[in-house]
C-alpha cells in the first residue's frame, strides 16, 4: 500500500494486563462487523477503490460503515440497513431507482435519467441484494448501462421467496468514478 514500515522484535512483558470488559466488547463488535461485511466484499472493492489511499478498498468500506451501521454493544448489535454504504464517489447517481419482484425469482429494476456534467450513457449499474435469512448477497456490477433505464435480474435460487435489502449505484465504464450508493429498501417477495 506504499507505507514504509520498520519492524523490530517485540519485547515480552512479564506482566500481562487483563483486558477490560469495554475492550473485549469493542473487539467483539469489531469482529462481528468485519465478518458481517464479508458477503459485500466484491461490491465494496469496486465501491471504495477510489477512496483506498494507503489502505485496501475493503478497509475503506469498513471504516465508512462501522460507526453508523452497527449500533449497540456486542452481543446486542443492531444493524441499520438503510445506513450501509456500498460505494462512495462524486458521480451523479441514478434518478429515482425502484426495485420490485416481478416473479418469485426475478427483480425488476427501473430508474430515471438524470444527465449532468460528467455523466455518460454507458455508466455501469451496480446492484446489491442482501438476504438476512441466508446472510448472503447477490447482484451484479456492470450488467447494464445507465441509458437502459430498466433491467430484469434473475436472483440466486437460494434467495427465492426471501425478503431482500436492495442497494444500487453506478460506476463509470473504466471504474475511475463511482456514485454514492442508494438504499432502495427492503423488497418483499410475491
Cα gap 130→40, rounded to integer Å: 9
Cα gap 127→152, rounded to integer Å: 11
Query: Tell me, what's the pLDDT at 33?
Result: 95
Cα gap 168→129, rounded to integer Å: 9
Domain ranges of the chain: 21-83, 95-187
Report yes or no: 37 and 64 within 8 Å, Cβ to Cβ: no
**The pTM is what?**
0.89
pLDDT band at 14 (very low <50, low <70, confident <90, very high): low
CATH code assigned to 95-187: 2.60.40.10
Query: Tell me, what's the pLDDT at 130?
Result: 98
Let me know if 30 is exposed, middle or buried by CB neighbors in 10 A (0-12, 13-18, 19+).
Answer: middle
- DSSP classification of residue 170: E
Amino acid at each position: 500500500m506504499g507505507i514504509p514500515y520498520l519492524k523490530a522484535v517485540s519485547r515480552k512483558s512479564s506482566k500481562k494486563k487483563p483486558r477490560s470488559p469495554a475492550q473485549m466488547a469493542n473487539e467483539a463488535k469489531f469482529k462481528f462487523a468485519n465478518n458481517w461485511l464479508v458477503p459485500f466484499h466484491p461490491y465494496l472493492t469496486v465501491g471504495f477503490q477510489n477512496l483506498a489511499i494507503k489502505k485496501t478498498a475493503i478497509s475503506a468500506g469498513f471504516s465508512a460503515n462501522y460507526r453508523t451501521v452497527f449500533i449497540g454493544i456486542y452481543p446486542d448489535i443492531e444493524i441499520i440497513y438503510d445506513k450501509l454504504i456500498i460505494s462512495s464517489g462524486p458521480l451523479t447517481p441514478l434518478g429515482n431507482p425502484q426495485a420490485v419482484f416481478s416473479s418469485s425469482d426475478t427483480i425488476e429494476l427501473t430508474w430515471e435519467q438524470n444527465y449532468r456534467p460528467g455523466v455518460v450513457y454507458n455508466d455501469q449499474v451496480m446492484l446489491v441484494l442482501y438476504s438476512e435469512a441466508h446472510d448472503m448477497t447477490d447482484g451484479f456490477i456492470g450488467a447494464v448501462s445507465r441509458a437502459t433505464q430498466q433491467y430484469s435480474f434473475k436472483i440466486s435460487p437460494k434467495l427465492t421467496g426471501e425478503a431482500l435489502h436492495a442497494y444500487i449505484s453506478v460506476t463509470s465504464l473504466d471504474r475511475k468514478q463511482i456514485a454514492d450508493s442508494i438504499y432502495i429498501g427492503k423488497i418483499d417477495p410475491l
